[in-house]
């Protein structure tokens, strides 16, 4: 897999992974800015309002009909965070021209349409249509409220928020209800203009085209200007003062226990791969200590797994347990970490964790979405190593490396959601 | 042994088939990806609760949740080691799942394919169940069941099935209940294993950069010839009408969550089932698709939002349409859905709208051929439905306007529609900092 990255304008990069493995071509346009509570709600609402219509396709129905015509073109816009970087993503997936009935030039039409979605929104009197803004505000508020529907996801999110209280990482990318309620079409439009003219731009393409073709298409249909984007920094805390414990009540059958830790490194570090292997051995695979001991041997839970944010350098160990076993489960989980710190790692555990991690890296190359995700995170962390290179560097990691990484883990926050 | 080749030149895909001498049907779908994927499945799911073989005099009825329990237990061998450990040596990433009509064991890998396949074939054909290991699993699955009890999407779906079906076992949760799994014994597990894990009742589907000969050689090493036993499944008669029109439950959700079900009559032949899939996919795109009048009218009025979706499901003994979402007033959505269906009976879509919808369904289906995982798991569903994954693109293209209209008239009967709703229990989240 060859990765090429070209700067087509100052601060505007196009990255291409050329492959004929897939029947679909994937293109994502990512606008990167510092994550902040002031703009997160605006950005989140913005992606919803932009999807409502463009100059040529002013209604959602006309836009969707155009997508149908282009062989069910996938067109999306959403927000995410990578560490303390806010990412506003526009995404298209189009079947390759080879598979169309009329061998149409689908990709160019698709890029033109995503260009229109980003650069030619439907506006009235210089701002977004007030009805669209009002409707999407209501939908967004409903979906922020609905974050409690997924209990496991909610417990992980709350643990991260509480652990990183006061740090930009605690910002909910979906938005805050009280802020969303106050947004006017004027304020939203001002944020839109600021975003497309100042944010760092990273375009990714995975599919069957040369990088020069993609750079040309992007240059033609996505008229980003030269820019000097603000620095994108993430504060990585590596130690904690005292462990904080929180309990929230909800009428649920199963207690969700989330344990938040600082991992003592981040994706920026060349040591990160050692952490990744530690994580695989600790809880990342079905032969890990958490799976084998806490789930299989002690029969305490159905799931118990670490969720990592590599750029921020935090981990939440998420599990669902019977409320009466909460303390036993907590002890059992922490005991696995202590064991690693004390060097209790068998050769088999090490060998298995290595094979599992290598395999996970190599599988990334078979999914256009995973490829884009991989390089987006890497570029934010200031690197461009490939999944294959990562896989090739796993084997030389030693038991001592893993023990050293485990000793950097700092317990920060214990959160439980229960009756 | 010779393999039969099947090819679809329109989409540039092919596969090889043979019945291995052990009795196992084997399908190999070459794909130049780094990841190879294999799935070994049995035609045995949560709905197979009453059955007999040609050697039994009478039917057996087993507790709910056995198929899923067996799936978990098969991973463990006589010495208490699990199959995950065996895969781990070769970097295989393993999993398994149980549905109403099948159980499947799978792995993906980027190296050591033969060794990983050997693990798969070996552990699935070597059961070991003991009192002690059954007891232990009751704890883990008990937590899995409780996890699903808090999942509004899962609960609203099963309540919808319960409202549609009167006798069909699909109305029951795949994992059973904490009570029903407490009745499971090693004897019951062996009985089910010996009935359904016969190689003739199973299939192996492989997708990746592998050759049919390679797969066959591993099968030769591991598999022993199985006797072809005949399985008789008892499915209680299901009346065409519904059980109850509306069912509700309260859970911790922010906004009501709903599923509307429209009960349909199962197809008579595999060919009919595949045509029905293509036709209903096109019909649902026309009726409720993102570019359609219904979705846009009601999105703009605020009745529905982007969570609204519609799909059609069918297997051996059931068939239904599900329309689901989250909104303030699910009763009003159901009313609007029924009105739309009634209106379209006399005012069906135009030929041009039909052609566009067909193109959308055709293109969406192509996406399924980009991942070795999607191909292998879909392949298994098609095999067990006695149809062929490579026939589906042409079946979609072949649907005529009249076919779609006729299927719409017969499969969308609003007198057989139900509504399942999860209402919010208590919107307050009490925060208590210790």
Mean of pLDDT over chain B: 94
- B367 and B292, same domain (yes or no): yes
Quick one: DSSP state of residue A54? Answer: B
A21 in contact with B, Cβ within 8 Å:
yes
Alpha-helical (H) ranges within B289-420 are: 293-300, 330-346, 351-367, 372-384, 392-398, 401-411
A18 part of a folded domain: yes
Please report the pLDDT score of residue A101 as a whole number: 75
Q: What gap in Å lies between CA A219 and CA A203, rounded to an integer?
A: 11
Q: A231 in a domain, yes or no?
A: no
Neighbour tally for B74: CB within 10 Å: 23
Number of structural domains found in chain B: 2
Predicted pLDDT of residue A99: 86
Q: Looking at the domain assignment, is residue A239 inside a domain? A: no
Which pLDDT score is estimated for A385?
A: 95
Place of tokens 């505007």: A12
Q: For A358-397, how does the pLDDT look when each residue is reduced to its tens digit (9 = 90+)?
A: 999 999 999 999 999 999 999 999 999 999 999 999 999 9
B258 vs A171, B150, B324, CA distance in Å? 30, 15, 6
The domain tally of chain A equals 2
Give the tens place of pLDDT for each residue, A95-141.
998 888 777 789 999 999 999 999 999 999 999 999 999 999 999 99
Q: Mean pLDDT throughout A351-362?
A: 95
- Please, which pLDDT band fits residue B434 given cuts at 50, 70 and 90? very low
Residue B82 has pLDDT above 90, yes or no: no
**Domain encompassing residue A287:** 244-418
pLDDT in tens, A147-175: 999 999 999 999 999 999 999 999 999 99
- Write out pLDDT tens, residues A247-259: 999 999 899 999 9
Portion of chain A with pLDDT greater than 70, in percent: 100
Mean pLDDT of B335-357: 97
Flag whether pLDDT at A49 surpasses 90.
yes
Same domain for B61 and B150?
yes
pTM: 0.93
Q: Are residues B228 and B330 in the same domain?
A: no
Phi, psi of B15 (to 5 degrees): -145, 165
Q: What is the mean predicted confidence (pLDDT) over A35-44? A: 97
Do both B329 and B370 map to the same domain?
A: yes
For helices A37-50 and A130-145, the axis angle rounded to 10 degrees is: 120
**A chain contacts of residue B425, beta-carbon cutoff 8 Å:** 251
| The pLDDT of residue B430 is above 60 | no
DSSP assignment of B51-80:
EEETT-SS-EE--TTHHHHHHHHHTB-TTS
Interface pTM, i.e. ipTM: 0.91
Which CATH number characterizes residue A149's domain? 3.30.830.10
Chain B residue numbers with beta carbons less than 8 Å from the beta carbon of A24 are 366-367, 370
Residue B239 in domain: no
B283 & B389 share domain = yes
The predicted-structure confidence for A6-23, as pLDDT tens digits, reads as follows: 999 999 999 999 999 999
Judging contacts by C-beta atoms under 8 Å, the chain A residues touching residue B427 are 145
**Same-domain pairing of B184 and B289:** no
CB atoms B146 and A365 under 8 Å: no
- CATH no. for residue B11? 3.30.830.10
Structure confidence by residue, pLDDT tens digits, B128-163:
999 998 998 998 898 889 889 999 999 999 999 999
Q: In chain B, what percentage of residues exceed pLDDT 70? A: 98
Asked if A146 lies within 8 A of B254 by C-beta distance, the reply is yes
Q: What percent of chain A has pLDDT over 90?
A: 92
Domain that holds residue B309: 246-424
Q: Which two tokens stand for residue B101?
A: 């009509």
> Among the options B71, B216, B238, B279, which is catalytic?
B71
Percentage of chain B lying above the pLDDT 90 cut: 90
Angle between helices A106-119 and A60-69 (to 10 degrees): 160
A165 touching B, CB under 8 A? no
Count CA atoms closer than 13 A to A29's CA, side-chain side.
29
Distance CA B133, CA B135 (A): 5
> pLDDT value at position A377?
97
The confidence score (pLDDT) of residue B428 equals 47
Closest approach of B241 to chain A, Cα-based (Å): 32
Residue B1: pLDDT band with limits 50, 70, 90 = low
What distance in Å separates residue B399's CA from the closest CA in chain A?
Answer: 16
Residue A71 maps to a domain: yes
- Copy the structure tokens of residue A237: 């805390």
Q: Which residues are A26's β-sheet partners?
A: A93, A206
Q: Are residues B255 and B228 in the same domain?
A: no
- Least confident among A55-64, B83-92, B410-419: B83-92
User: For this structure, is B71 an active site residue?
Assistant: yes
């Amino acid at each position: 897999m060859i990765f090429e990255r070209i700067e087509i304008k100052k601060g505007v990069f196009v990255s291409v992974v050329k492959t004929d493995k897939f029947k679909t071509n994937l293109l994502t346009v990512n606008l990167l800015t510092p994550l902040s509570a002031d703009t997160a709600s605006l950005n989140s609402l913005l992606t919803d309002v932009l999807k409502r219509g463009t100059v040529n396709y002013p209604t959602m129905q006309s836009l969707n009909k155009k997508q149908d015509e282009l062989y069910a073109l996938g067109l999306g816009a959403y927000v995410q965070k990578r560490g303390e970087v806010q990412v506003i993503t526009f995404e298209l997936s189009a079947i390759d021209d080879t598979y169309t009935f009329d061998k149409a030039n689908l990709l160019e039409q698709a890029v033109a349409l995503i260009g229109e979605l980003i650069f030619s929104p439907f506006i009235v009197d210089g701002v977004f249509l007030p009805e669209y803004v009002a409707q999407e505000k209501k939908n967004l508020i409903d979906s922020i409220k609905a974050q409690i529907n997924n209990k496991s996801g909610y417990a992980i999110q709350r643990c991260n928020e509480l652990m990183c209280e006061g740090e930009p990482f605690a910002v909910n990318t979906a938005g805050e209800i009280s802020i969303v309620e106050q947004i006017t079409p004027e304020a939203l439009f001002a944020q839109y203009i600021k975003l497309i003219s100042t944010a760092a731009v990273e375009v990714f393409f995975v599919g069957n085209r040369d990088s020069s073709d993609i750079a040309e298409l992007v240059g033609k249909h996505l008229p980003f200007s030269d820019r000097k984007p603000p620095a994108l920094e993430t504060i990585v805390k590596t130690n904690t003062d005292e462990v904080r414990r929180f309990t929230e009540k909800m009428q649920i059958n199963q207690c969700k226990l989330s344990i938040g830790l600082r991992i003592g490194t981040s994706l920026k570090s060349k040591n990160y791969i050692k952490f990744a292997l530690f994580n695989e051995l600790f809880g990342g695979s079905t032969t890990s200590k958490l799976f084998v001991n806490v789930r299989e041997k002690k029969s305490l839970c159905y799931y118990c797994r670490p969720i990592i944010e590599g750029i921020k350098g935090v981990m939440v160990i998420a599990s669902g347990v019977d409320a009466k076993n909460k303390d036993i489960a907590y002890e059992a989980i922490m005991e696995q970490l202590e064991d690693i710190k004390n060097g209790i790692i068998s050769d088999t555990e090490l060998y298995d964790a290595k094979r599992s991690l290598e395999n996970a890296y190599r599988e990334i190359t078979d999914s256009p979405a995973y490829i884009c995700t991989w390089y987006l995170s890497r570029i934010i962390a200031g690197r461009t190593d490939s999944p294959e290179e990562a896989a090739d560097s796993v084997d030389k990691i030693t038991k001592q490396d893993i023990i050293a990484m485990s000793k950097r883990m700092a317990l920060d926050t214990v959160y439980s959601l229960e009756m | 042994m010779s393999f039969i080749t099947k090819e679809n030149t329109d989409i540039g895909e092919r596969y090889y088939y043979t019945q291995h001498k052990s009795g196992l049907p084997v399908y190999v779908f070459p794909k130049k990806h780094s990841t190879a994927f294999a799935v070994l499945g049995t035609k045995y799911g949560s709905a197979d609760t009453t059955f007999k073989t040609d050697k039994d005099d009478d039917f057996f009825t087993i507790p709910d949740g056995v198929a899923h329990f067996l799936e978990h237990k098969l991973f463990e061998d006589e010495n208490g080691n699990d199959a995950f450990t065996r895969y781990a040596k070769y970097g295989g990433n393993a999993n398994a799942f149980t549905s109403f009509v099948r159980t499947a064991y799978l792995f993906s890998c980027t190296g050591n394919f033969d060794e990983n396949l050997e693990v798969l074939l070996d552990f699935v054909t070597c059961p070991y169940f003991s009192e002690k290991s059954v007891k232990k699993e009751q704890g883990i699955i008990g937590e899995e069941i409780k996890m699903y009890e808090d999942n509004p999407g899962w609960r609203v779906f099963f309540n919808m099935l319960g409202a549609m079906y009167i006798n069909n076992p699909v109305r029951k949760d795949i994992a059973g209940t904490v009570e029903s799994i407490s009745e499971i014994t090693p004897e019951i597990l062996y009985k089910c294993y010996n009935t359904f894990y016969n190689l003739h009742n199973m299939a192996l589907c492989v997708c990746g950069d592998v050759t049919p000969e390679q797969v066959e050689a591993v099968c030769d090493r591991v598999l022993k010839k199985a006797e072809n036993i005949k399985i008789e499944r008892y499915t209680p008669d299901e009346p065409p009408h519904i059980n109850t029109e509306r069912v509700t439950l309260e859970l911790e959700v922010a906004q009501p969550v709903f599923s509307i079900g429209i009960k349909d009559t199962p197809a008579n032949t595999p060919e009919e089932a595949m045509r029905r899939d293509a036709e209903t996919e096109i019909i649902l795109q026309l009726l409720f698709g993102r570019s359609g009048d219904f979705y846009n009218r009601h999105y703009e009025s605020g009745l529905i939002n982007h969570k609204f979706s519609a799909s059609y499901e069918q297997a051996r003994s059931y068939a239904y349409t599900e329309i689901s979402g989250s909104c303030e007033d699910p009763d009003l959505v159901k009313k609007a859905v029924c009105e739309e269906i009634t209106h379209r009976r006399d005012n069906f879509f135009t030929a041009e709208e039909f052609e566009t919808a067909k193109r959308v369904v055709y293109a969406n289906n192509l996406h399924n051929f980009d991942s070795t995982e999607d191909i292998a798991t879909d392949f298994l569903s098609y095999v067990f439905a006695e149809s062929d994954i490579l026939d589906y693109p042409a079946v979609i293209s072949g649907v005529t306007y009249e076919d779609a209209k006729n299927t719409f008239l017969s499969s969308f009967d609003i007198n057989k529609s139900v509504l399942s709703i999860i209402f919010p229990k208590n919107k307050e989240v009490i925060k208590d900092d210790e």
